[in-house]
Amino acid sequence: MKIGILVGMENTFPPALIEKINGMNAGVTAEYIKIGGVKMGEPTPYRLIFDRISHDIPFFRSYLKNAVLNGAVVVNNPFWWSSDEKFFGYSLATKLGVTVPKTVLLPQKSYKRGVTDASLRNLEFPLDWDGVIEHVGLPAILKPHDGGGWKNVYKVNSKEELWECYDRTGELAMMLQEFIDFTEYTRCYCVARREALVMPYDPKNRRYLPQEALETISRDLKDRMIRDTILINEALGYDLNTVEFAIKDGVPYAVDFTNPAPDADIWSVTEPYFNWVTDAVARMLVDYAKNSKPTSAYHRWYKLLSPEAALEMAEFALGAAVGASRVARKSSDAIAEVIEEITEPIKPKRARKTGGKGAKTSFKMGKSGKSGKTGKPGKSGTTRGANLDKNAKKSD
């Protein structure tokens, strides 16, 4: 049984992870993946694939989806990773009871070629900037709605600064978020949706601090951050992620938690945290490879691919076909009766006798030249059509 590791520029975490897994002697080995042309529908030789780079390489993301389709376990799930973004995460967190900063999604500043004013007719214009600022407050953070590793993130102190920064964002969809003037800040690893490690973090200098820096944080507050971290990842379905908390007045605000390929480099996270995440991820991957359901089991189309579901679908299709044929026969019979009725030859009416023998029979002729009653058009015929046309013109 093999685990495939899909990586980018990382040089410390992936090799340490492979060494750790191979040293566990658990009947599972790990190695780097090599990928060439991928034939559709063909399975991968790996029971599990650990993804650290597909967010930057669309070819890898498509490869992983095909691997899921063919029964592999993929960490993290490439389908959800493709559809997730930070604004949805904040909205979800509010429903879960997790405290998050007030956030407003903003229309893009500009759009790709081909998008015209007609394409944007649903947008409110001008945008109620004063209303947005009143809701969020100032200062505020302007940042992309789907993340980007601290890129295109601005702190704004006035409407003019907001406009100036917003004008630089191009085609990015941005969010304006309440700025939390925190006294403590933490980043929490979450592994397998059940293990969490709270790490003190300095976002201004982007560096991890030793555990001693947590001494000012109460046990209850740490427990709450662990609880919120696990809850968020259980809801999002991420098996490896980080959640960041800005703590103000004893309240942990979850400010960032869509990081499915979190930093794990030893020179960044420091050795103690590096060792923790390497051990935890190695245990998770081996456990998932040996015991987990395939990732495809979490998708609707899996029900159509399993043997039991295939049998049920076959029986359903057979029943549907039989039912459809019966309906078709009944419909065909009904249509035949209608056709027969409307195409039946009209029998000429017998002449009414107006006198004695030899009285002549006469039929009045309408304008069409056919025998029938004469007179002004009634509710049917061309008069009704004309009335409809007039009504249509009035409605226009």
pLDDT, tens digit only, all 396 positions of the chain = 999 999 999 999 999 999 999 999 999 999 999 999 999 999 999 999 999 999 999 999 999 999 999 999 999 999 988 888 999 999 999 999 999 999 999 999 999 999 999 999 999 999 999 999 999 999 999 999 988 777 899 999 999 999 999 999 999 999 999 999 999 999 999 999 999 999 999 999 999 999 999 999 999 999 999 999 999 999 999 999 999 999 999 999 999 999 999 999 999 999 999 999 999 999 999 999 999 887 777 777 667 776 665 565 566 556 666 665 665 666 666 666 656 665 555 555 555 555 544 444 443 444 444 444 444 444 444 434 434 344 444 444
Q: How much is the pLDDT for 300?
A: 72
Q: How much is the pLDDT for 382?
A: 40
Q: How much is the pLDDT for 326?
A: 64
As given in the structure block, the two tokens for residue 19 are 């060494």
Q: How much is the pLDDT for 242?
A: 97
Q: How much is the pLDDT for 293?
A: 81
Report the Cα 14 to chain-centroid distance in Å: 29
Rounded alpha-carbon distances, angstroms, from residue 328 to 178, 323, 332, 340: 62, 9, 6, 18
> Do residues 172 and 108 make contact, with C-beta atoms less than 8 angstroms apart?
yes
Q: Which residues have C-beta within 8 Å of that of residue 367, sequence separation ≥ 6?
A: 374
Report the Cα 102 to chain-centroid distance in Å: 22
> Do residues 138 and 181 make contact, with C-beta atoms less than 8 angstroms apart?
no
Q: How much is the pLDDT for 76?
A: 95
Domains in the chain with CATH codes? 2-82 (3.40.50.20), 102-179 (3.30.1490.20)
